[in-house]
Amino acid sequence: MLKKELHLNRRLVIIILAGLVILAALLGVCLGAVNVSPLDFIDALIHGETGRMAYRIVMHVRLPRVLGGLLAGGALAVSGCILQSLLQNPLASPNVIGVNGGAGICVLICASFFPAAVSMYPMAAFLGALLTAILVYLISMGSRSSKVTLILTGIAISSITGAGMNFILTVNPDAYVGASDFLIGGLSGLTMKSLRFVWIYILVGLIGAFMLRRELNLIRLGQDTAKSLGLNVPVIRFLLLVFAALLAGAAISFAGMIGFVGLIIPHAMRFIIGHDNIYLVPASALAGSAFVVLCDLVSRTAFSPYELPVGILLAFIGGPFFIYLVVRYRKANRD
Amino acid sequence: MIRVSDISYSYMPGREVLHGVTTSFPENKVTTIIGPNGCGKSTLLKICADILTPSSGSVTLDDVDIRTFKPKELARKIAILSQKELALDETVYELVSYGRYPHQRYGAGLSPLDKERIESAMETTHVAEFRNRMLSQLSGGQRQRVYIAMAIAQDTGIILLDEPTTYMDISVRFEIMELVRSLQQSGKTIVMVLHDIDLALDYSDHILVMKDGNLVLEGTSEDIIASRKIDEVFNVRMSILDHDERQIYHFDKR
């Protein structure tokens, strides 16, 4: 257990994070292989010069990518925030417990059988994420299993779904355009059209999580205490699972198997503002959005002219962070 | 008044842990349930707070079945402090403020009355000075007082405490018992499960003795001592010594 958490003024932190989101979005839109001046773009927008280079780069390449990063980052961070409280497990996050895998395999199944139904991907991902989340939750509750058992179960589910996705792409290589990016997690090739429906899922998930922030605090105390405080535990628990799955599923449906955002961001935010979900949920949403956009910016500019899918960079950051958390909590439990 | 009528409970089929227990907890008194490990004390307490649902029988509060209350409505009448240690990552103020949840409207923040009740609960339990500390930074006794503060902030007439003194230093045990007594004197009905027979005899107005899922005896401390049932239930030999106008209980193995 960390004892030197900062607990800064929480409202101020949220305002700063909102500013960081705007700054990240601006940088994401303006910087890249060709730098675009915001004034140049605004000028093109005002004069309706849709053929101008600045307009085309921003509207067709950078803006969808930045919006996708904002949506995916916020959604995955809040999903992680919910799952960690719900499962009372600091190591839980959508990718670690297999929820991303469940969403991913359902997207590929949907893409294989209904190649034209792109608008159905978020729904398929949501159902896959929800089924996996319920399965993991039942395992964690039913057998009174330890925190480590839950994580190992998640890793096993991720392995199975990963094998399933590879199987689908082996027997049907054309099932998903940009399959390699999907398996790693990336935002390249995103268009405004591919975000057309998914933002609704994420908005619903974020509003739901926002509305249940107080209940999320009580759920952290355990089922008996939450019930004794007047919480309708089964209903709230199910709703939280639905919102976590909605958020993770929607993000996976267009950004692929992006991992670790739901682990890194809630922990970083807890370190800064504490564990109260009243502040933690909005702070995680904002920080997750800014983080993914900035990571995507780094992954497409740092190795120019090559471009890395953002999922690779996130795995490089998230993997060691996960190991750090395992060691830290093992030590805390031993102490 | 809480009345328990013919309560039975099984954690799994064929393994009943409570067998038709019937009793009541007098209002504005401290009632303590004692008995050997696994006799069903904590189970009975959880059933009284509707955390567990009995396989048969009922629990009524002022002649109304507690299962007919909505969750928040019941939480405004009965608070329970479980044996399990709660999250340690919260600050003292955050945890105590959760006790106000049953009184809050959906989506509303803490009202001035909520804040007043939280302050009062922290003052009563002497934890106000730690308000911004995380629970992980407090001693076991201080944490227990914070948990009790949360139950006090819930502002119920009845407080159920499941082994509030377990793992506490002897001085902390007395401190917690004095706190329990002061709560009773402020008008609360207290029902608690205790392992310490001597504390139960010293601080209770009413005692229930349980064994193997059955209620074997109930009454005042004097009734319990006079019955000599403690020896039989706990398989010990209890002797009572007089010291400074007080009775000291001594237990030997039988």
Q: Is the pTM of this model over 0.90?
A: no
Looking at B134, B155, B176, the residue that finishes a domain is B155
In contact, A33 and A305? CB cutoff 8 Å:
yes
- Chain A residues close to B76, C-beta within 8 Å: 230
Q: Does one domain contain both B244 and B174?
A: yes
Q: Name the domain count of chain A.
A: 1
E-only strand ranges, A65-218: none
Neighbours of A68 (CB within 10 A): 28
Nearest CA-CA distance, residue A234 and chain B, Å: 12
Banded model confidence at residue A130, pLDDT cuts 50, 70, 90: very high
Locate the chain A residue with the closest alpha carbon to B109.
Answer: A214
Query: Among A10, A219, A229, which would you mutate to test the B interface (most chain B Cβ atoms within 10 Å of its Cβ)?
Result: A229
Nearest CA-CA distance, residue A278 and chain B, Å: 10
ipTM of the complex: 0.88
Interface contact flag, B50 A5, Cβ < 8 Å: no
> Could you tell me the CATH number of the domain that includes residue A310?
1.10.3470.10
Q: Does one domain contain both B107 and B224?
A: no
Q: Does one domain contain both B119 and B197?
A: no
- Residue A234 burial (10 A CB sphere; 0-12, 13-18, 19+): exposed
- Is the model more confident about B239 or about A226? A226
In contact, A72 and A122? CB cutoff 8 Å:
no
- Report the distance separating Cα A145 and Cα B221, nearest Å: 42
- Report the distance separating Cα B207 and Cα B198, nearest Å: 12
Would you state the pLDDT for residue A143?
Answer: 55
Q: Does one domain contain both B232 and B164?
A: yes
Locate the chain A residue with the closest alpha carbon to B86.
Answer: A221
Query: Among B98, B104, B138, which would you mutate to test the A interface (most chain A Cβ atoms within 10 Å of its Cβ)?
Result: B98
Q: Among partner residues B74, B101, B154, which is closest to A218 by beta-carbon distance?
A: B101
- Domain region containing A59: 2-334
Interface contact flag, A228 B51, Cβ < 8 Å: yes
Give yes or no for B100 touching A (CB within 8 A): no
Give yes or no for A12 touching B (CB within 8 A): no
- Give CA A83 to chain center in angstroms: 12
Banded model confidence at residue A40, pLDDT cuts 50, 70, 90: confident
pLDDT in tens, chain B (254 residues): 899 999 999 988 888 999 999 999 999 999 999 999 889 999 999 999 999 999 999 999 999 999 999 999 999 999 999 877 677 788 999 999 999 999 998 877 889 999 999 999 999 999 999 998 989 889 888 898 999 999 999 999 999 999 988 777 888 888 889 999 999 999 999 999 998 888 999 899 999 999 999 999 999 988 988 888 888 888 888 888 887 777 788 888 77
Interface contact flag, A274 B136, Cβ < 8 Å: no
Q: Does one domain contain both B163 and B73?
A: yes
Give yes or no for B154 touching A (CB within 8 A): yes
- Domain region containing B102: 85-155
- Chain B residues close to A270, C-beta within 8 Å: 89
Q: Does one domain contain both B162 and B249?
A: yes
Q: Does one domain contain both B182 and B224?
A: yes
> Could you tell me the CATH number of the domain that includes residue B189?
3.40.50.300
